[in-house]
Amino acid sequence: MCGIFGYVGKQQNAAEFVLSGLKLLEYRGYDSWGIALKISNSKSQISNSRQNRDSKFITEKHIGKIGNAQLSSNDLRSNLAIGHTRWATHGGVIVENAHPHLDCKKEIAVIHNGIIENYARIKEGLLKKGHKFVSETDTEIIPHLIEEFLKKEGFASAVRDAFNQLKGLNAIVVANSLSRQIIAAKTGSPLVIGKGNEGFFVASDATGIIKHTRKLLFLKDREMVILGDDVELLTLPSGKKKILRFEQIDWKIEDVEKGKFDHFMLKEIYEQPKVVRNIAENYTSQIKELKKLIDKAKGTFLIGAGTAFHACLAGSYFFSKIANIHINTTVASEFNYLEDFLNSKSLIIALSQSGETIDVIEPLNHAKEKGSKIIAITNALGSTIYRMADYKLLLGAGPEKAVASTKAYIAKVALLLMLSYAVAGKVNRAKKLLLDASREIDILLSKKNILKIKKIASIINSSEHLYTIGRGTSFSTALESALKIKEVSYLHTEGLAGGELKHGPIALISKGTPCVVFAPQDETFDAIISNATEIKSRGGLIIGVGPKKSPIFDYWIKIKDVSEAQIIPHVVFAQILAYYLSVERGHDPDKPRNLAKSVTVK
């Protein structure tokens, strides 16, 4: 959930490395941030920092987003530093709760992602031994616990023994000012190690590291790595040495920079035609392999959380309509309660942009215990879900830094559409439809259409509520559109199946209430227009999306009919609307309040 970054090496600008790394990772959490470093120049000081004359580490912590922040001193020569940008779990958003946290001697600094389920018991024991705590966090027990173990053993053993006592899904990065080492360990939450010319880097995902190196080691669960003059990989809980295998990834630094765009969300929206074309042109062989697995399975299930679940729901419609087979789907966090019937012949298709979503990982663990096969469709090479799957399919969408997913969602939908047609033996039909959909996105992103959408955003900006409706595959479009709009603009938006209006929600319609109506030229058209008429007759403002204009529409966004692929440009319209609503309302669409990119805690 939180952003983690650390550096140890030969260069003396560790503070600069860590600060710039945190800025790249801020989408993972932005309640507060902080840095701890061992300075090489003893005359350097940081104002407003927590330090005393005997400190080995100095820290600087702040509340809120990093933005364009700089450290309080420009003279910070250091070759060892760690930093953290926080999404709060334990303890409020105050300076004292910001990471890193130190031991009593200020020789051990710790940053942490996850929740320590047994922290209260451990803290009670440490308090009895005289340790002093300054925060409300569960994280602060870690440096003090390591400090206790250091009284009788070395640094690596102390970190290993401390981590072995923690219950829950956690990733920790520990720096030692005396040994000039960083140790990282994980169970559940992600950590990535980078090996570059300047030294070693550690981060919560690859986005923070590729500025320096593309040689990466993705830590597995129950692994620990020691970084200093060299690198050593150990298994937990035993501490047995393991063979190191760094991977080369093909991302570029341009992929994680905004370039000419004001926000990452807008940049990622504009990248979607390329993402869809890439899938249409390059995924046939991989899709055909997955088709074989579905053919063999006795029960196939799609699971995902949030946006990924909406892609799953669209997929269930695709498989029914295109391939004439039933694919089950449910919200991943509920799958634990619906998996009693799984067996060795079951197939689970798990969708996750980050590959670290705890609500997906937990039911997958249970499914594996029953012998079920798992397909991972994710955007993150080496992620937990990627590694635990029997078969993997990377989205190929490139880094996605805006918290609200856009291009990763479109990639999931495109792959599921292609897979549905492959099961039906018509994969070439899918390729054509995806290329047509890609062209429709290009048209939607034309200056003329952007101005039209910006005008709609301006008109509905002052509304108290917004509704999105659809039928068939457009029901999933309505749900995803509502999620995008409310998560970045904070305008209450509710996505509905058109037929459900008369079963209660229509009571909320009053004069001027805006409603987006997804009206593709398919079997749902007449029924959804009838639903729109019901809303119009009660004073609603109708925004129609589809190839055919209806007199009932107050505003119309024309999108050419591209058959089952119509869901793709239709959702892109909603993404653009959500973006401009957010900007119109004065919000940051990249970093919506209370949200983080990767949900790694329950």
Which residues are the active-site residues?
Answer: 2, 597
- Tell me whether the omega of the peptide bond preceding residue 547 falls within 30 degrees of 0, making it cis: no
DSSP 428: H
Q: Does the bond joining 589 to the residue before it have cis omega, within 30 degrees of 0? A: no
Q: What are residue 129's phi and psi, to 5 degrees?
A: -90, 5
One-letter amino acid identity for 183?
Answer: I
Q: At 515, is the secondary structure helix, strand, or coil? A: strand
Whether residue 312 contacts residue 480, with contact meaning beta carbons closer than 8 Å, is answered with: no
Amino acid, res. 339: E
For residue 108, the number of C-alpha atoms closer than 13 Å in the C-beta half-sphere is: 27
Residues 6+ apart with CB under 8 A from 186: 170, 171, 172, 219, 220, 221, 222, 223
Query: What distance lies between CA 289 and its chain's CA centroid?
Result: 27
SS3 annotation, 204-231: CCHHHCCCCCCEEEECCCCEEEEECCCE
Element (H, E) at 335: helix 332-335
Q: Which helix (H) or strand (E) holds 303?
A: strand 300-304
Backbone angles phi, psi at 120, to 5 degrees: -60, -45
Residue 280 belongs to what H/E stretch? helix 272-282
The Cα diameter of the chain in Å comes to 80
CA nearest to 138, candidates 107, 84, 169, 97: 97
Q: Rounded CA gap, 394 and 555, in Å?
A: 38
Q: For the sheet containing 347-352, what is the strand order?
A: 328-331, 300-304, 347-352, 373-378, 391-394
Helix axes 407-423, 284-296, angle to 10 degrees: 60
Rounded Cα distance between 401 and 268, Å, is 8
CA of 304: how far to CAs of 30, 63, 287, in Å? 25, 32, 19
Q: Tell me the one-letter amino acid at 382.
A: G
Query: Amino acid identity, residue 431?
Result: K
